[in-house]
Structure 1
């Protein structure tokens, strides 16, 4: 099948690499350095527990490379959903199926408005990182939960054949909110402390911060009509054991001097709390601290007094 990955960072390149390895014609649409490395070395270097090696795959920097694709995995940052969707829209095939593999709870809706066609929201549970341009490391998990969408059965089968655990769910909205709670905990804390999840959660005082963050998120979710399972906090606390070496995407963004998605994570909870009259002081503090790190990155070689 012809498959395009729009916004192929670590997550998009991981899934695109697996699909290419399974024999599909995959095009990764990514930043110039990543594309240049893939072209120079004639493929993506994919490193995982089950496979390490070079995967032949096409790569491009322009959104028009989605032309002819039967399926598009949309993996951009939440901050780029609208602009990337607008760039991609004129080049989409009329019958192309689009999945949103993004953090946050409203990207599929926003992308649907931009494209004027249904977009299936997908919840991503994978630990992956860009070791270097053209080099993706898979650090753990990898499953997907996707909402129903007409015509996506071939992509479900292709992902399964490629080794990706994928589940179709009629309740994907709740799954998106559950993932949002995870992100509101691990993304800012990992970024602020510059720690991977295992050492982070083992640090003194962090578990109480996690509990307070989750409590605020659950209150906002409930006010929106989203009732998450009673073991949500337990699952959040257990995540560190399944991805002990993973640093959050927000931590990776800050390390590269890039803008993070924090406005669509803790920032979203803060805005919804304000709209609904729910206090969210912990989420507000985490959001503020990450934004400060974005605006004032530490100088190279700087040391604390």
Structure 2
């Protein structure tokens, strides 16, 4: 018998990766907390569509509402549980699934932010792996339907990076890599923590901005003030990550040092950064709304405290300020509470020393 897989949180990333696993014949159970999403999956399966190049497909799936998870106690246990919920739901989602894990079963964080420690606090470090979905540009546009604002990345960009927390390549890391590779390009990384912080930088540069301005990626990048603010956000996050000892990868296919210097005002670095990001804005994927922008539109809680807020906190621990990230965190919180409405003026009128 093959491995039994659970997707905890059938949102954009979990739905996208899991649907490809189900299409390939893997034994996958989809668990979600949104009743309409569960009902749509039960009635019509999971629908996956792309902006270009890739035919749409629909795959029948087994979907459970989280209140029905207790029924798994009578079934074969879970070998691999992919936790794909928002960061603020990580602890309870891991606690929920841990009692249904096989003796050798483990949990994979397929999420934004840095959630491995939260998962390990529940199931232990020995049962915790990480998987990063880089620049995947997906959204759950309606119940049971995940849409990707591009085609497949393939060799042009490695989407999934799978790693053990200790950096060694193991059979279970290979097993996870095989599963996510069913949906797009994948590699096993020995640099999980550097990859994690790199993804954190990438998200910190756009997610909160989209949430508080109401703009999609393309509009953030084509406005000079907003584009330069993305560099400032990235620069602070990169410098803190470097000080923490992380080995950073490319961010938006740019050397992180170039982004750091661009955010610090270096003219040549800014020229390179501007040229690259404006070219990116001209591509189809830049029409995508970042995930936190999607959350704001849907009235959902954002992950701002786990992205830009987390960067500020880690900087404070080592004596490095992150004023742009702190300002953005405050603005997004106020928009989320309804004290402000999403508007580009929140950033355009911002004055930082």
TM-score over 0.5 (shorter chain): yes
Q: Is the 8 A contact 1:64 1:88 kept in 2?
A: no
Query: Please, which of 61, 65, 70 is the counterpart of residue 61 of structure 1?
Result: 65
Provide the residue aligned with 2:160 in structure 1.
Answer: 144
The answer on 1:38 being equivalent to 2:36 is no
- Tell me the alpha carbon deviations over residues 127-163 of structure 1, each in whole angstroms, 9 at most, x when there is no partner: 1111111111012356200113552433323433x24
Q: Deviations over 1:22-75 (max 9, x none)?
A: 11122111121110111122x111112413132111111124477623222111
CA distance in structure 2 between the aligned counterparts of 1:243 and 1:176, rounded to whole angstroms: 22
Larger CA deviation: 189-198 vs 165-174: 189-198
| Structure with bigger gyration radius | 2
In structure 1, the residue matched to 2:79 is 70
Q: 1:135 to 1:298 in 2, by over 3 A?
A: farther
CA distance in structure 1 between the partners assigned to 2:5 and 2:197 by the alignment = 27
Alpha-carbon distance in structure 2 between the residues aligned to 1:221 and 1:158: 30
RMSD over aligned Cα atoms: 2.3
Q: Which residue of 1 aligns with 2:28?
A: 26
- Residue number in structure 1 paired with 2:266: none
Task: Give how far 1:255 is off.
Answer: 1.2
| Corresponding residue number in structure 2 for 1:270 | 312
C-alpha distance in 2, partners of 1:263/1:28?
A: 27
Determine which of 224, 234, 241 is the counterpart of 1:204. 224
1:11 and 2:4 aligned: no
Name 1:103's counterpart in structure 2: 112
Aligned 8 A contact 1:27 1:65 in 2: no
Equivalent position of 2:194 in the other structure: 174
Distance 1:242 1:95, change over 3 A: farther
Q: Which runs of 5+ in 2 are unaligned?
A: 154-158, 165-169, 260-272, 342-353
Structure 1 position 123, deviation (Å): 1.2
The runs of 5 or more residues in structure 1 that have no matched partner are: 300-305
Q: Is the 8 A contact 1:191 1:250 kept in 2?
A: yes
Shift of 1:252: 1.0
Partner residue of 1:183? Answer: 203
Q: Give the alignment partner of residue 302 of structure 2, picking from 239, 245, 260.
A: 260
Alignment: residue pair count: 296
More deviation, 10-19/27-36: 27-36
Q: Bigger CA drift: 238-247 or 264-273?
A: 238-247
TM-score scaled by structure 1?
0.89
Query: 1:239 deviation in Å?
Result: 5.8
